[in-house]
Amino acid sequence: MHGRLLVLLLLTPAVVSQSLTACSFLERDFNWSTAQTLCHRSNGTDLLSLDLVSLPGLSFCTGDLGMVWTSLRRDTLNDSAWFWDNTIIAAGTEDVSSSLSWTEEGSGGHCASIKDSTWYSRRCSERRFFYCSNNNSQHEYVELNMSWEEARDYCQRDSRTLSSPHTDLEAQDIEGKKEGWVGLYRVGGDTWAWAERHNLSYTAWGPGEPVTSDCGAFSVEQQKWKSFPCERPLRVACHNDNLEVVTERKSWEEALQHCAGRGKRLVVLNNMQDYQYVRKRIYQTQTDQVWVGVRFLAGRWWWVDGSPVQEQLYPQCPEQYEACGTLSKRDNTMGLTQDCSRRLNFVCN
Ligand SMILES: *[C@@H]1O[C@H](CO)[C@@H](O)[C@H](O)[C@H]1NC(C)=O
Ligand SMILES: *[C@@H]1O[C@H](CO)[C@@H](O)[C@H](O)[C@H]1NC(C)=O
Ligand SMILES: *[C@@H]1O[C@H](CO)[C@@H](O)[C@H](O)[C@H]1NC(C)=O
Ligand SMILES: *[C@@H]1O[C@H](CO)[C@@H](O)[C@H](O)[C@H]1NC(C)=O
Ligand SMILES: *[C@@H]1O[C@H](CO)[C@@H](O)[C@H](O)[C@H]1NC(C)=O
Ligand SMILES: *[C@@H]1O[C@H](CO)[C@@H](O)[C@H](O)[C@H]1NC(C)=O
């Protein structure tokens, strides 16, 4: 057992140490929509976001660029609503679906409908009736056959939203027994989220900002956000997130092999920023704890790349001898130890 693991440990350093996130610059200035399209050309790559602004990598990333586009956009229908139009952080948004009563029927869809307080996942292009709610949370059943997007736009045209009952209890307020679209959809194909846009929970606008323009940029000098007209060409840095959050359940060693088979390794977290960043990215996992690339062996903790483990991160002497390290998506304590044979989700990088 230990012999096999040592071999694996010796093999892993062949994988070049890879940072969690990387940046690439586009060679010239582009308007916002072109910048976004160019960044989206590779999977897991997008314009800069809030998370990047808080990562130490950013100063390296934006080096000598004065002002760069971020994925911040203003809602075209609402002058005061700004949101992150970003596939990477959207995938890290908390999954709101687990507390709802779903049917198994048609579970492959990316948009949600409701019927008699039961949730269905449906293909977004299907044409259905839908529920709009006004700002008093009154739900109206609209008997027009529309795709989910058309229905959302229809409700928004009268300053209403596709109904968004956040719990099964609230869903009972929708009296109709008939099936209709509601405002729940899968962001980036994975995580279920509400279509209504929430206020930004953190803002860093520069003095006097935002002005009347609709696209958000980041001033490297001021470390502040600024709004610019979307058609204006500006510098572009694309953020590349190398993480692969695997929602299959495997033992620690199987997880290690799964990552290696994809030219990656179980994620190594050797600083607090990386630790915080990965915590934000594991919301969609099915297990509360996920394997990371650390194991207790021969009297000490080892990261799979051979780097030292910060003393505070894992307990000096684990309770079980066969211990591997996890990160928890709910518990804000540092690393937790688990029996290595437990079957958990994991993160490759
Ligand atoms: C990119 O994402 C698409 C859609 O999720 C997927 O089908 C494709 O395999 C991905 N490509 C790579 C190189 O990961
Ligand atoms: C516009 O957005 C703000 C902030 O998100 C929100 O408080 C307000 O209700 C919205 N107005 C309309 C008309 O939707
Ligand atoms: C929403 O509430 C505001 C303030 O109470 C009101 O002025 C507005 O007309 C309402 N909008 C709708 C669509 O009912
Ligand atoms: C709307 O959809 C229903 C149910 O699918 C169907 O019976 C009806 O014919 C459709 N109406 C129109 C106008 O397309
Ligand atoms: C959004 O922010 C505005 C202004 O700070 C506040 O009045 C409003 O209650 C917030 N809306 C939500 C849904 O938090
Ligand atoms: C952005 O640039 C592209 C390519 O030059 C152009 O087709 C598009 O209309 C521009 N968009 C805006 C909003 O200016």
Centre of ligand 2 to C-alpha 212, Å, is 16
For domain 21-91+200-240, give the CATH superfamily: Mannose-Binding Protein A, subunit A (3.10.100.10)
Q: What is the pLDDT, as a whole number, of residue 232?
A: 92
Q: What is the pLDDT, as a whole number, of residue 159?
A: 81
* Ligand closest in space to the Cα of 83: 2
2-11 and 252-261 helices, crossing angle to 10°: 30
For residue 99 and ligand 4, the question of a CB distance below 6 A is answered with: no
Nearest CA residue ID for atom 4, ligand 3 = 135
CB 103 within 8 A of CB 115: no
Q: What is the pLDDT, as a whole number, of residue 346?
A: 96
Centre of ligand 6 to C-alpha 232, Å, is 9
Half-sphere exposure of 141 (CA within 13 A, CB side): 15
Q: What is the pLDDT, as a whole number, of residue 6?
A: 38
Q: What is the pLDDT, as a whole number, of residue 74?
A: 80
Q: What is the pLDDT, as a whole number, of residue 142?
A: 93
Tokens of 338: 């688990």
Q: Which pTM was predicted? A: 0.58
CB 36 within 8 A of CB 234: no
Tell me whether the CATH fold assigned to 2-18+242-348 matches the one assigned to 21-91+200-240: yes
Phi, psi angles (nearest 5°) of residue 323: -115, 140
CB contact burial 292-303 (16+ within 10 A = b; e otherwise): bbbbbbeeebbb
Domain positions in the chain? 2-18+242-348, 21-91+200-240, 111-189
Listed residue (303, 288, 336, 71) closest to 200, CA to CA: 71
* Ligand closest in space to the Cα of 234: 6
> Which listed CATH number (3.10.620.30, 3.10.100.10, 2.40.440.10, 3.30.470.10) goes with 2-18+242-348?
3.10.100.10
Q: What is the pLDDT, as a whole number, of residue 212?
A: 76
Residues framing ligand 3 (Cβ under 6 A): 134-135, 158-160
3-class secondary structure for 78-119? CCCCEEECCHHHHHCCCCCCCCCCECCCCCCCCEEEEECCEE
Phi, psi angles (nearest 5°) of residue 45: -125, 135
Listed residue (322, 329, 332, 321) closest to 345, CA to CA: 329
Residues of the chain with pLDDT under 70: 1-19, 50-63, 76-81, 89-99, 104-108, 135, 166, 175-176, 187-191, 193, 196-203, 283-284, 319-320, 330-334
Do strands 118-122 and 67-74 pair parallel, antiparallel, or not at all (unpaired)? unpaired
Rounded to whole angstroms, the Cα distance separating 101 from 120 reads 9
* Ligand closest in space to the Cα of 236: 6
